[in-house]
Every structure is written in C-alpha cells, then in structure tokens.
Amino acid sequence: MTAVPREVTSRYIDPLTQVWLGAARLVGLHVVRTPDAYASTDGRGTLAIGEDTALDADDSLAQMIFHELCHSLVEGECSFEAPDWGMDNTGPDHDWREHACLRVQWVLTGRHGLRKLFAPTTEFRAFWDRLSGDVLADRTERSVEAAISALQRSSRAPWAPALSEALAATARIASNALRFADPDTLWSAVASAPALHPTGLPLGESAGTCGTCAWRFDSRGKLACRQSGSRVDAAWPACERHEAALDCQTCGACCRAAYHSVEVSKRDPVVKKHPSMIVDRGTYLEVLRDGDRCAALEGGTLANDKREPFRCVIYDDRPKTCRDFTLGSANCLTARRRVGLSQ
Ligand code: SF4
Ligand code: SF4
C-alpha cells in the first residue's frame, strides 16, 4: 500500500513520557536520550537518560526522570550545577544518598498509589523492596535526615509545583489505564491514591493517632496540631508528619544549627558555675559556640551513617533560655525542621 503524501505537523508521544518531560522542563532540565549512560546530568541543565534499547522491560522514561528529580531533592538546589548531582557514585557517601533518594521516592509515590508503577530499577532495588510503612521513622539514620530535608524542598521552587502536579497527572493516567491493563504490565499494579488526612496533610503510615502524636497540643481545652495549624481529634489516624515521641538525645536541634546565640543574663547561675562556657560580648553574655553549635553540646557524630546521641554537658546548670525551651513547642518544631528532623 502506498502512503498518501501528506504534511506531518505534529508527533505522537506517550502521555506519561510527555508529563515527565514537561515536569523536567518546568524544573529546569532538558532531557536527552543517550547510548552512553543509564542516567546522568552535566551540571548545565541536561539530563541524559539511556535509550530504550538499554533499558529493562519495567523501566520507563517517566520513572527515570522522577527518580533523578528525587536525587536532586536530596542533593539540594546547588546540585543542578554539578555533574550527576554532585554524586561520585562510589565511596562511603554513596549508599546513604541513594537510600535517601529511595525514601523520598517511596513517600512521594505513596501519596498517589504509584509505588509499583514508579518503583526504581537501579541496583538499589533490593533496598526499595525492603521498605515498608513509615520509612522516615528512624531519625538516627542519616538517609532519613536527608530524605526529610528533601521532602521539605519538594514544596519549594524549582520543584514545586511541577513535581506534585506531574505525580497527580501520572495517577490520573494510571487509574484510567488500569481498567484496560494487561495483567503482566505495570499498569495493572496501580493502586488507588490514599485519601488525605482530615487536616489536609498526606495520610501517614505510622500506627499512631493524632492523640499519640508529639505535635498535638492543648489549645483552650481542645486538641490542636502544630504541623497543620488546625484542630485535630485524638482518634484520627496518623498523618505523614506524625511523630510518636521526640527524643532530645537523637535531636539536639535547638543546640546546634537552629539557633546561633544563647544569651545569658549576668545573674544566671551558669555564669559562675561554668565560666569557661561563657563569652562576654561587651553588651551581653552568651554561651560559647563550637562551629555551628553550642560548645556545651557533645555527641551527634555520624558513625556508619547513624547519628550518635547528643548530650548537654551543663544540662543540670543550663541557662534559663535553655530551660524555657519547651519540647514539642513551635520553637522545637522550627529547630527540628532546620536540621532536617521534622517535615
Ligand atoms: S502531625 Fe500529628 S497531630 Fe498533627 S495531624 Fe499529623 S498525626 Fe495529627
Ligand atoms: S529541638 Fe526539641 S526535640 Fe530537639 S533537642 Fe531541642 S527540645 Fe529536644
């Protein structure tokens, strides 16, 4: 049969591919296909993804772009200017960064029922297959800290709103394809998106409730939530930000990067008890600093990608400023957000 000569003015593109090429463009990336690499960035705005012939049957360009965007969330805004997001793909700092990326991928896909459709296809797939439930629960894990900071970034430019809109569009395409899906395809593994928590936050996977959450507080006799800023019911299930208990020993946020000065009054007993810890700034006194943290704070070093406990060496004599700092308060939440321990 001879084709009727005609002018072709548009090209067809798979809708999921179109969504993620567009999302990458909105975030500031130009996607090209390459025979040379599985996935790489050049630090100048190009994301190269392997050609279809180099991919496995369960790879999709959409998932691979999403995976790379999760890497950029973990590595931060500056990573757009570094080849391969500044990752060297070897060495001791590689695994926890990959694990953080997959924790982010798990949380973001879980919000839309896309965990199977958008499962990673890298050599870290075994780690993904072991994930379940609240993958941010262990705050001593370096990869969890990095994942929480990444999730905070996901609601800021350049990722927002493109990333969440692309996930929502993917979920709509997936739920429409599900009805027609062949059983051996990823489309048949699409799940329904979970309902939102009554506060509007994403639903969580912890077994707790608002009543057992560290961020609930009493507001004029009623229960309220510091994370959502709204009233809550003690029986409501956990949202994604539920934290059963706050542990200052695994946190130390208020004593490290969160605040840059702890002012002390001249009459505070700590001045006489620990003079080596006090600095006279002329018009005021403050507790000595050690780099970006209070000099009285010990511990918190990372060993085997786990953060060791913190300890205040003047805890019993700590200044009034520290004694007045309340666990679970709005200031506590701010401090924890600054160091990547709370969303
Ligand atoms: S952060 Fe805690 S109190 Fe607030 S909505 Fe989530 S589970 Fe409930
Ligand atoms: S920020 Fe809150 S949880 Fe962390 S050490 Fe300070 S009081 Fe404790």
Per-residue pLDDT, averaged over 219-247, amounts to 96
Angle, in degrees to the nearest 10, between helices 61-75 and 95-110: 120
Closest to 253 in 3D by CA, of 303, 306, 293, 304: 293
Q: Is 210 in the pocket of ligand 1 (CB under 6 A)?
A: yes
pLDDT band at 215 (very low <50, low <70, confident <90, very high): very high
pLDDT value of position 272:
96
Calculate ∠ Cα 227-135-137, nearest 5°: 60
- Residue 159 CA to ligand 1 center (angstroms) comes to 25
Question: Cis peptide before 158, with omega less than 30 degrees from 0?
Answer: yes
Closest to 225 in 3D by CA, of 137, 236, 155: 236
Please identify, by atom number, the ligand 2 atom nearest to the C-alpha of residue 328: 2
Per-residue pLDDT, averaged over 82-103, amounts to 93
Per-residue pLDDT, averaged over 230-240, amounts to 97
- Residue 295 CA to ligand 1 center (angstroms) comes to 34
Instruction: Take atom 4 of ligand 1 and give the residue whose Cα is closest.
Output: 225
The span from the CA of 216 to the CA of 208, in Å, is 12
pLDDT value of position 296:
95
* Phi, psi for residue 166 in degrees, rounded to 5: -65, -40
Q: Where are the alpha helices (DSSP H) in 154-269?
A: 162-178, 248-251
The SS3 of residue 52 is helix
pLDDT band at 90 (very low <50, low <70, confident <90, very high): confident
Which of 213, 332, 342 to mutate to test ligand 1, by most ligand atoms within 8 A of the CB atom?
Answer: 213
- The answer on pLDDT for 89 being more than 90 is no
pLDDT value of position 292:
87
- Residue 318 CA to ligand 2 center (angstroms) comes to 14
pLDDT value of position 224:
98
Contact assessment for residue 243 and residue 215, using Cβ atoms and an 8 Å cutoff: yes
Q: How many CB atoms lie within 10 A of CB 128?
A: 20
pLDDT value of position 334:
94
Taking the CA of residue 41 as centre, how many other CA atoms within 13 Å lie in the half-sphere pointing to its CB? 28
Instruction: Take atom 7 of ligand 2 and give the residue whose Cα is closest.
Output: 327
The least confident of 1-5, 244-248, 271-275, 339-343 is: 1-5
Q: Strand 285-287 relative to strand 297-299: parallel, antiparallel, unpaired?
A: unpaired
Instruction: Take atom 6 of ligand 1 and give the residue whose Cα is closest.
Output: 239
Please identify, by atom number, the ligand 1 atom nearest to the C-alpha of residue 214: 2
Contact assessment for residue 117 and residue 190, using Cβ atoms and an 8 Å cutoff: yes
pLDDT value of position 1:
59
pLDDT band at 2 (very low <50, low <70, confident <90, very high): low
- Residue 245 CA to ligand 1 center (angstroms) comes to 12
Q: Which two tokens stand for residue 182?
A: 């062949």
Instruction: Take atom 6 of ligand 2 and give the residue whose Cα is closest.
Output: 254
The span from the CA of 62 to the CA of 16, in Å, is 6
pLDDT band at 287 (very low <50, low <70, confident <90, very high): very high
The span from the CA of 332 to the CA of 327, in Å, is 6
- Residue 139 CA to ligand 1 center (angstroms) comes to 17
pLDDT value of position 257:
74
Radius of gyration of the chain measured on its C-alpha atoms: 24
pTM for the whole structure: 0.93
Q: Which-ligand-closest: CA of 327?
A: 2
pLDDT value of position 258:
72
- Residue 253 CA to ligand 2 center (angstroms) comes to 6
Q: Which two tokens stand for residue 156?
A: 């800021």
Please identify, by atom number, the ligand 2 atom nearest to the C-alpha of residue 341: 4
Q: Strand 30-34 relative to strand 46-50: parallel, antiparallel, unpaired?
A: parallel
- The answer on pLDDT for 206 being more than 70 is yes
Dump pLDDT digits (tens) for 251-273.
999 999 777 889 999 999 999 99
* 56 or 130, greater pLDDT: 130
The per-residue pLDDT of the chain, averaged, comes to 94
The span from the CA of 122 to the CA of 99, in Å, is 11
The SS3 of residue 65 is helix
* 129 or 92, greater pLDDT: 129
